[in-house]
Amino acid sequence: LLTFTEDKFILNGTKMGSAFGYAIEVVDLNNDGFDDLIVGAPFEHRADSDGHFGGIVYVYFSQGVERSRGESSKVFHTPITLKGPGFFSQFGLSISKLGNLDGDKSGYNDFAVGAPFADGGKGAVYVFLGQESKKEFRSTPAQIITASDLPNLHRNVSSFGFSLSGGSDLDGNGYPDLVVGAVTEGVVTILR
């Protein structure tokens, strides 16, 4: 059964109203045997020297397991922050693990982040690749997929990336697929 954790294992958002924890995913990004934690804060907006960011995703790499009083608890490094594009994109509203999408030899797990109101409200999905360590993790996406990139929709779509589900091989080709929802349009797209 589940039990409550000690305060030191509770992660808190940094800004009120950020919706920290709206989306959460657990996946081992660096194949060290410890699950890492990805937390979305889609309403966190920051203005810094690079401009305005609409949504933040925090990537907490695990630094192993702490054992005390017969219990095991994971301990996380200070998070890496991934910044959303433009104000009000709601980057981090959805997060999904993808499996080893890029097929790298080390088998690092990858993940996707939805920003359903990026690209003028059409929406976008950002793909990030797992790496050997926190130091090597790239905070720039390996791929950005927008609703405009999908030629077979035959209609304008908005809110692409509102929901995500990945890591399964729906078409049986041996590679993980990503299912993307555009809830305001009633459209679900399978990317393979």
| Domain boundaries, given as residue ranges, for the chain | 7-191
| Close Cβ partners of 54 (under 8 Å, ≥ 6 residues apart) | 42, 45, 84, 85, 86, 87, 88, 89, 90, 91, 115, 117, 118
DSSP state of 49: T
Distance CA 28, CA 68 (A): 23
Least confident range from 59-63, 65-69, 90-94: namely: 65-69
Distance CA 97, CA 76 (A): 18
Average pLDDT, the chain: 87
Note whether 158 and 147 are within 8 A (CB). yes
- Segment 8-19 mean pLDDT: 80
* Burial of 12 from C-beta contacts in 10 A (0-12 / 13-18 / 19+): exposed
Distance CA 147, CA 139 (A): 22
| Predicted confidence (pLDDT) at residue 17 exceeds the cutoff of 90 | no
| 100: three-class secondary structure by DSSP | coil
Measured CA angle at 188 (ends 52, 171), to 5 deg: 115
- Segment 121-138 mean pLDDT: 90
pLDDT at 35: 92
| Predicted confidence (pLDDT) at residue 160 exceeds the cutoff of 70 | yes
CATH of domain 7-191: 2.130.10.130
